[in-house]
Structure formats: structure tokens, C-alpha cells
Amino acid sequence: MRVKTSVTLDEDVVSAIEAIAGEGESRSRTIERLLRQCLTARKRADIDDRDREIIDAHADELAAEAIDVLGYQIKTGGPGPRQVGA
């Protein structure tokens, strides 16, 4: 369901919106599209921040595990770094 609302914008913002609007796209549709992109990016950034906090909280454990795995690979002759194009 669409809701009609009124927003006051500076002239330079309106000019920028008109400049990036798709052919035949109204200002309302352009603003909605831009807001959706912004909201999606914000949500992704929030998820990334949360993931980073989790990783940081367990950094010592993860580093120790990585060292253990690398040590095992060296002992067993396991896979090394992948070759580009391999």
C-alpha cells in the first residue's frame, strides 16, 4: 500500500534527484528507490558490524585454531595455498 506524504527538500537535493531519475521515472519513484537502496545498505552495514563484533570477541580462539590447522597441514603435507588458475 502506498502512502502519500509531504517532504520539504532543498533545491539542490531536488535537482540531484531529477538528474539521476531514470527515464520517465517520477521524483516520488526516484526518492523511493534511493531510500530503499539506503535502507538496504544500512541494514547490511548493521549486520557487518554485528559480525565484526562476534569475530573480534573470538579473535584469540580463531587465531589459535588457524595456527593449529596450519601446523597440521604442514605435518601431513596437506593442501597449501591454491595456485591461481588451478
Lowest mean pLDDT among 22-26, 38-42, 59-63, 75-79: 75-79
Give the model's confidence band at 57: pLDDT under 50 very low, under 70 low, under 90 confident, else very high. Answer: very high
Give the model's confidence band at 80: pLDDT under 50 very low, under 70 low, under 90 confident, else very high. Answer: low
| Amino acid in the structure at residue 55 | I
Residues contacting residue 30 through CB under 8 Å, at least 6 positions apart:
17, 18, 20, 21, 22
Computed over every residue of the chain, the mean pLDDT equals 91
Torsion-angle region of residue 77: left (phi > 0), alpha (psi -120 to 50) or beta?
Answer: left
Look at residues 7, 56, 49, 58 and name the one whose alpha carbon lies nearest to residue 28: 7
pTM of the full structure: 0.63
